[in-house]
Structures are given as structure tokens and as C-alpha cells.
Chains A and B, each alone.
Chain A
Amino acid sequence: MLPQVIGLLAFTAVPLVASLGYSFTNWDLVAPSPTFVGLDNWQHLLGDDRIPAVLWNTVRFILVGTSTLLVFSLVAALLTFTPRRFVGVYRAALFLPYVLSQIAVGVVWRWMFNSQSGPISGIWELFGGTSPDWLLDPATAMPSIAMVTTWQTIGYGMTLYVAALQGVPVSLLEAATIDGANRWQRFRNVTVPMISPTVFFLTVTSLIGAFQLFDPVVAMTSASAGPATAGGPSNSTRTIVLYMYNQMFNYNEQVSGLGYAAAIAWMLALLIFLVTAVQFLVSGRWVHYEDPTASGGRRRRRARR
């Protein structure tokens, strides 16, 4: 237990508190020590007109990325849930992208999205359309990045959904069938409520991850100079974390450096906390934590034996 506690203190608690302290300082990492500046960073943060823009970019990512993750990973789970030949292979194939490096995935998808010869453009043009310049057009760049992150994390969501689907009591489904419910009604009124805790968990964790978007943007939008030039075209993919990085290392404005980056990080942490709290507050209306054993229901897994 002690090693875990030490690890938690050293690598989480201390940096957390230290970063809060840094948010009241000015430090370019080169000066011998930070300079206390009181609330200057926080005041500048409130008046920084780039913050709304980068937050909006992050929200655009969330709107596409989180919603598609929730839907497509559920579809993948439903398709691979029923035992059939090679189902393990399908699941492994869907899960594989999740273990790949985000930078490597980003580099590959840069090519996939190329409007000259990329496969995505090729498929698009098969249907008679003119392919957009996916990553070079401000209108399509962020949705394209969101789709890539969905593709990469779909296996993770699918795994959780499969586990949840296996926990849906067969007795409830059978009862609904006896009551005349068709397949869609069983799914809508029995399966979805029973897997709602998993939907909730995925929503919360994917939103937290989405707020921290960084690697895919750097890999897919920077030319050759790394994070310093990422975030284009026309600022359309610059997220809050990328902006934090820019402010920490690459700028030389009067209010910048580690202190201002720490203030941005804490603003982000508070925002995530707020969003998560709201999610928990409204979750009571749609998340059902019913104990299947209380109703004497058999688990589907058990029934299959």
C-alpha cells in the first residue's frame, strides 16, 4: 500500500498542488526561480480573447468525437456481441487501433485524408462528390480529427459495451418478448436502460479525454515545426491544451510561460470538474443502477452455459 501512496503523492498530489502554486507566478523555466505575480495570470486569463476560440474548437471536437464514439462503439458491440465464428478476430481488429500511438495514427490518417490520393477522398468521389481538403479546410479539419479519434477508441468503447450487454438479464428480455415487445422496443426499453451506467461512464471519461485533446492535432495539422505551428488551418483545430502548450514554451508575451500555462491548466481542470458534476447531477434521470440479482433474473452469460 505504501508504494502506491508514495507514488500517488509524488506523481499526482505534489504536481497538482505545485501547479496551482505556479499559476500565481511568472516563470519561463530558465530563470532560477519563479516570480510571484499574484492574480495576474488569472486576470489575464479572463480577458484573453483566444480562450473562447480554443474552447469552441474543443467543443466542436466533443460534439463530433464523443457522440460518434458512443454510437459507433455501441454498434460495434452489438455486431460482435453475438457468438459467431471469428468474433474474437473482429473484436481484436476493432480494438487494435486503441493500442497504437496517437502520433503514428495521426501521420497515417494525414495520408488517408489527402485529397489527391487518400482512400477517404477516393471513397467520397466514388459517390460522385468532390472530395474536400479534409485537413486543409477549416470547415472539415476538426470533424476529420474527431472521426480519427473515434476510430481509434471505438474498440475500447466496444469492450465496455460488450461487458455491459452480457450483464443484461435474459429474463427481462424474455418478459418483454412475452409482453409483445419487438426487437427495437426490447433494445430501447430494456437493453439501453440496463447498459446506461456504461453509457454514462463512457460519456464522462470520453468527455474528459476530449477536453485534453493534443496529440492527434499536432500529428495531423503541424507542418514540420511541431506543436508551435499546429492548430490550423486558420486556427480551426487549436484546442485548449495545445494553446496551453503554446503559451508555456513558444511565446514570449508579457503574460506567458509556465505560470500562465498552469492557470490555463487549472481553468481546464475546473471546467472538466464542472462538466462532470453536471453529468452526475443529471445522470439520476437516465442512468439506472438496477441490481439484476434483486429481481431474481438470470444473467445472459449464465444462461448460455
Chain B
Amino acid sequence: MGLRKKAFGITAAAACLALLVAGCTGDSSTEDEGDDDGAATGDVEPATVRVMLWGNDADISSIKDAAAGFSTARPEITIEWESGDCGVDYAACKTLVAGGNTPDVFVMGSWNYFEAARDGVTADLTPYLEESGTTTDDFTPAIIDALTSPSDGKLYGLPMGYNIQSLFYNKDMFDAAGLDYPPADGSYTYDDLREWAAKLTLDGSGNDATAAGFDPNAIQQYGYFNFAAAPIEPGYAPVLAAFGGGILGGDARNECTADSEGTIEGFQWLQDLMWTDHSAITPQLQQEEPGYARWVRGQVAMQQGSHEQVLAVQQQNPELNYGIAALPEGPAGNATLAQIHVWVMSEASEHKDAAWEFLHYMATEGAGKQMGLIPAYQDVAQGPAFAQAEGEPEGLVEAQIDPAGWDLTFTNVDPSVVWSAVSSQDGIAPAIEDIIMNRATAAEALDGICASRIDALLDAAK
């Protein structure tokens, strides 16, 4: 009897195991049906697409809201939302890839878009785009060009949208100082900006930074904030570009220009505002409270920032009377920086057709208001979904959309995959820290830095 029971148990266990294996195999075969190597045809097998998002709650909600139309139109494709840092932080993607757990669709930042493409983590979307009827002409040229691989001409993602650096200013403070508002189209100079910043910086006695009795130890209102105080690239890069410099140059952004005249002048301009004029937020003040938050609550008159500031004002201080202008002209011209959030598809996805359908929808029909970005799908960007939307400040087109077409505007893509090393403590970071902390002038800090530090990193990455 006992033997019979044991035999039954073994048989049952074997049967269960067989069922499990069959179940797994069955799943795989179902998934295989959706597998393909070619482009989408429009008719897609029912599938579940895993989509990974990052950002704050509002960012994630904005994407889910934008995807609602897709779920209605394509009920055969189920979207399974996940949260994770893959995309904003490429290290998180690597761990997912190593574990064989990469989501079908995720959002890369322009800063690591090419690293993922180089590693084969993201799929080539060029054939899918050709089949879909959508063309690259449907997107903002500077943005789609930036995402096109300079080495093979392929597209490994479609833009969710981009943010662009502009000048946000407090109208009440300008009125109180008797200053005209900055022209929305950027037809003013960095000299003008410096002068306004000084006049808008006030101490406890009401003296501005140009007055003889001004006390820099008792400042109540600051004139200017730039994220260079953090220090991060979206802060200092537009200034350097307008002065004719930059950390890296060349089409592939793999040539060191960190000790060029333009770079030195740009960094010196930033240092002078912080430490000579006392009109800009310093790293110490930034550490105490971020400069953008000071601007939102009305302690700083101007800041260089992206469209995220519009949302911040709406959420935190809707009474703020502010305006927006394109960044000023430097010795080399008007320049700004665009950062792109990119919808990408995993090369390892077993549901590429379904994943493409979702991704394509989100970059075209569903574009607009995702993560507070400017949609790169032009028809949407110019319409009520963005430029004409309620609550947007005046001059949005001139300050946020038109600068994408400036000659000196650039995106922080990294086609040579060198930026993480160049911007690190092994690269430019200690020199920038010395500049913004006023431990050295820009000329001293950057003297010979290409030969002494950066070139070796660029060589090592080849």
C-alpha cells in the first residue's frame, strides 16, 4: 500500500512537472508567434508588451494618460507597466539585460541613447518606420537628426519629446527694478543678462549689486541661477556654446575642446556672476536649496531652465508672475541645449511588432504632454497639445520651439560613448568644481586639461 502511494506520488509529481514544462513551452511558443525579424505590418498577434517608465508620479501619469488612446484602439495589445531606472541610468539597463529581463519598450535619455544602441540593447527601428508611413520629416529636424546614428544612419528610437534650455524670469522683479523684459526670441546678449542679474540682486537694505553700499553677505534676492552650480551639463553647456566653446566638439563629440578660448570665457562668465558680481546662486547656496526651487518661490529673478519649470510653477507657486525667453546671444551666437527622451524597443523583445505599434503611437498620435516635454512630432508641438495649451506662458514658441533650429543648438547625445568618463572625477569634474567654487579662474583650471586628462580618456574609449 505504501509503495503504491509512493508510486502514485512520483507519478503525480512527474505529471505536474510535465505540465509545468508544457506550460512553459506553451508560453514560449505563443510568444514565438509574435516574434519576427521584419517590420510591422499593422496586423499584430495579441501580445502583452512590458513598458518600463521612470520619473516622478506626474511624469508616469502623463505617459499613462497619453497611452489611453492606444489601449482603446488596440485592445489586442496589453500594456504591462513597470517602473525602473533603465533609461535614465544605463547601469540599471545593464543589470536587466544581464538578467534576461529587459522590458519590451523603455525610455532612454539622449545622454545614453547611443551607448545602448552600440551595445545592441535597442532595436533598429528604421525598417519599422519605413513600413509605417511615418517619415523623419514628421519630427523636429534637429531632434531626429540627433537620434540618427552617425556611423550607420539608423534610428534606434523615436523621440517622446525634448526639453530645451531657456531663460525663465520673474516679471514682478523686472518691473520693480525698472527693467524691460528679455525679448522672447533671444535678441539680447550675455552682457545684458549679466547687467540685469546684478541689478536684480538685492541685499537686506534694498541695494542692488551695482550699488556702492551693496552687502554681498546679506543678499535677500538673487539675480540669476544656472545649473552650472550643481554642476551639470544642461547648466553650463549652452553658455559655453554661445561663447564658442564646449567640453567636447566634433561631429561625433569626441574631440576635446575643454581648454579652448570659448570654453574658458563661458566658464569665466559663470564664475564672475557667482563670485565677482555676487548675483548668481553659488554651489553652497545650491546645496542649501536648489536654485530652481528658489526661483519658483520667488527668491531668484532669472534662471536658465527647461519646460519642467512651467510644471513646477503650476504645482508649487501658481501665483508666480513669470515670463520665458530664449537664451541670449554670446560671442558665437545664440545657443541652447536639447535633451531628448527617446522611446526605444529592446532588441531582445519577443513581441517586436506589438512593441513597435505602441512605441510608434506614443511618438506620433499620442505625442504631447508626456513628461512635460516638447513633442518632437511637429504637428502636435505647434498645436493645442503644447504651444497653444492652457497655462503655458507667452513666448513659448519663440523660447522653447524655435531655438531647436538655431545653428549652435545641440543635443547631449553621446555618439562616441565618452561623456560618462569625460564628465567624471577622472575627467573635467574637478576643474569645473574649482571654477564654480572660485578656487581657480577658468583659465587656470582648464589650462592644458585636454592633454593632461581628457585626451587619455578619449583614447581609452576607442
Residues of A that sit less than 8 Å from B by CB: 28-30, 50, 110-111, 114-118, 133, 135-137, 223-226, 228-229, 231-235, 238, 246, 248-254
Contact = CB atoms under 8 A, between A and B. Distances in A.
Contact of A133 (B120, B434, B437): B437
B430 A233 contact: yes
Contact of B288 (A111, A137, A251): A111
A154 to B, nearest CB: 25
A29 B97 contact: yes
A223 B231 contact: yes
10 contacts: A115-B284, A116-B285, A118-B288, A223-B230, A232-B429, A232-B433, A234-B425, A235-B425, A249-B94, A253-B421
A231 B252 CA distance: 28
B418 A250 contact: no
Given A223-B232, A228-B91, 9 more contacts: A30-B119, A110-B287, A115-B284, A116-B287, A137-B437, A232-B433, A233-B437, A252-B115, A253-B460
Contacts of B120: 30
Interface in B216-233: 230-232
Q: 8 closest A-B pairs (Cβ-Cβ)? A: A249-B91, A29-B98, A234-B430, A29-B94, A30-B119, A253-B460, A223-B230, A116-B288
A251 B430 contact: no
B230 A114 contact: no
Nearest to A233: B433
A250 B420 contact: yes
A39 to B, nearest CB: 19
Nearest to B286: A223
A50 B284 CA distance: 28
B27 interface: no
Interface residues of B, number: 35
B98 to A, nearest CB: 4
Interface in B436-462: 437, 457, 460-461
Nearest to B94: A29
Contact of B284 (A114, A223, A228, A238): A114
A235 B232 contact: no
A249 B90 contact: yes
Interface string B245-258: 00000000000000
A225 B232 contact: yes
Contacts of A28: 94, 119
A251 B457 CA distance: 10
B326 interface: no
A183 to B, nearest CB: 45
A249 B91 CA distance: 5
A234 B428 CA distance: 10
B197 interface: no
Contacts of A118: 288
B89 interface: yes
Given A224-B230, A246-B424, A136 B283 contact: yes
A136 B429 contact: no
Contact of B232 (A117, A224, A254): A224
B423 interface: yes
B95 interface: yes
Nearest to B432: A232
Contacts of B121: 30
A226 B91 CA distance: 11
B426 interface: yes
A225 B420 CA distance: 10
A252 B89 CA distance: 15
A231 B287 contact: no
Contacts of A238: 425
A232 B432 CA distance: 11
A277 B425 CA distance: 33
